[in-house]
């Protein structure tokens, strides 16, 4: 059985933002294995985050991004539960990061449930028409069309877009990570993008 030192707990706390007791418990449980303890804490944090998403988020800030040439800008309303979290550096950096995403990636909606049914129907019609000449069975065409729709959602819905600075994570994953770190529900309440010449 490995001895869990204060230094080990400190390093794990810095890496995961988890509490001291949680870090000590994780290291003890995984016999001092740093990577396994960190993975356990991350999963635990994300599981906790999932339970917070139903709570009201009526505080927050407006995140803003202005491109260096002053020809493109974006605003994002990022909501949280308390003014305390709204003033937190992690929260404010997240708001700016999402505003930068909006400016660069040009989403049309926050999430799938905001997409009008007629827009979805139109896309589906286009993809189905494209596949008609393929000679594939109807069931196969339907699966391909669903796949194309998912790709379209990942382009037009902010939460499903890949982060422009780290393509391995989506904006939804960024939000979930922030919820796990800050312990409050965080939601994107809306956004606006302006550009000269568009």
More confident residue, 144 or 92: 92
Question: How much is the mean pLDDT over the chain?
Answer: 86
- Give the pLDDT confidence of 66-102 residue by residue, as tens digits: 999 999 999 999 999 989 999 999 999 999 999 999 9
CATH classification for the domain delimited by 6-52, as one of 1.10.8.10, 1.20.1440.120, 1.20.1050.10, 1.20.810.10: 1.10.8.10
| Residue 122 pLDDT | 93
- Give the pLDDT confidence of 53-63 residue by residue, as tens digits: 566 677 899 99
| Residue 51 pLDDT | 58
Torsion on CA atoms 27, 32, 36, 39, rounded to nearest 10: 30
C-alpha angle 55-61-66 in degrees, rounded to nearest 5: 140
Q: How far apart are CA 17 and CA 102, in angstroms?
A: 27
Alpha helices, DSSP H only, in 30-82?
A: 34-52
Q: Which of 78, 59, 81, 48 is nearest to 180 (CA)?
A: 48
Going from N- to C-terminal start, the domains of the chain cover: 6-52, 59-110+157-195, 116-156
């Amino acid at each position: 059985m490995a001895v869990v030192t204060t230094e080990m707990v400190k390093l794990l706390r810095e890496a995961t933002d988890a509490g001291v007791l949680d870090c000590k418990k994780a290291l003890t449980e995984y016999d001092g294995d740093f990577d396994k303890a960190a993975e356990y804490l991350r999963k635990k944090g994300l599981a906790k985050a999932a339970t917070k998403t139903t709570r009201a988020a009526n505080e927050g800030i407006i995140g803003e991004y202005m491109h260096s040439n002053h020809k493109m800008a974006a605003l994002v309303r990022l909501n949280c539960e308390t003014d305390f979290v709204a003033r937190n550096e992690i929260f404010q950096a997240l708001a700016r990061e999402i505003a930068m995403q909006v400016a660069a990636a040009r989403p049309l909606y926050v999430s799938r449930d905001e997409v009008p049914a007629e827009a979805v129907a139109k896309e589906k019609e286009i993809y189905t028409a494209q596949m008609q000449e393929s000679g594939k069975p109807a069931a196969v065409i339907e699966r391909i069309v669903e796949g194309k729709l998912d790709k379209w959602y990942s382009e037009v819905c902010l939460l499903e877009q890949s982060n422009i600075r780290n393509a391995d994570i989506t904006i939804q994953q960024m939000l979930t990570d922030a919820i796990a770190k800050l312990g409050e529900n965080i939601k994107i309440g809306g956004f606006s993008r302006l550009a000269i010449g568009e």
